[in-house]
Amino acid sequence: VQLQACGGGLVQAGGSLRLSCAASGRTFIRYAMGWFRQAPGKEREFVAAIGWSADSTNYEDSVKGRFTISRDGAKNTVYLQMNSLKPEDTAIYYCAADLAIANIPESPRYWGQGTLVTVSS
């Protein structure tokens, strides 16, 4: 699976961004997808995950109610809608994929390159 993330940028606190991650190489629909982020000087952390059927989602506590993960099977794309952004959301965001959603928060098999999100105060 090859993953290509995009959509990052500079936004003011309270604003919104939507990240996209396009998948190719294997049958996208079979894979659970997720987003991670790595802030400067910090370890990479799990943000959100979505199952292959999109009926199962999982979020890190600090983004619950602000971020929404979704997927479009026709476009082989997973999205992360980020609302009410805070300066502490500033990070490089990575998408990831694995056959099992249970693996997403810990050790997904496939990774995309990152896209930088900067939230100014």
Distance (Å, whole) CA 18 – CA 62: 17
Q: Is 28's pLDDT higher than 90? A: no
The predicted structure's pLDDT at residue 26: 66
Q: What is the largest CA-CA distance in the chain?
A: 41
**What is the average pLDDT across 88-116?**
94
Distance (Å, whole) CA 20 – CA 11: 16
Reduced to 3 states (helix: H, G, I; strand: E, B; else coil), residue 14 is coil
Distance (Å, whole) CA 73 – CA 38: 27
pLDDT tens for residues 56-71?
999 999 999 999 999 9
Bridge pairing between strands 45-50 and 32-38: antiparallel
> What are the CA-CA distances from residue 99 to residues 18, 28, 77, 119, 120 (Å)?
24, 10, 16, 32, 36
The closest of 119, 120, 115, 121 to 37, measured between CA atoms, is 115
Reduced to 3 states (helix: H, G, I; strand: E, B; else coil), residue 61 is helix
Tell me the pLDDT of the chain averaged across its residues. Answer: 94
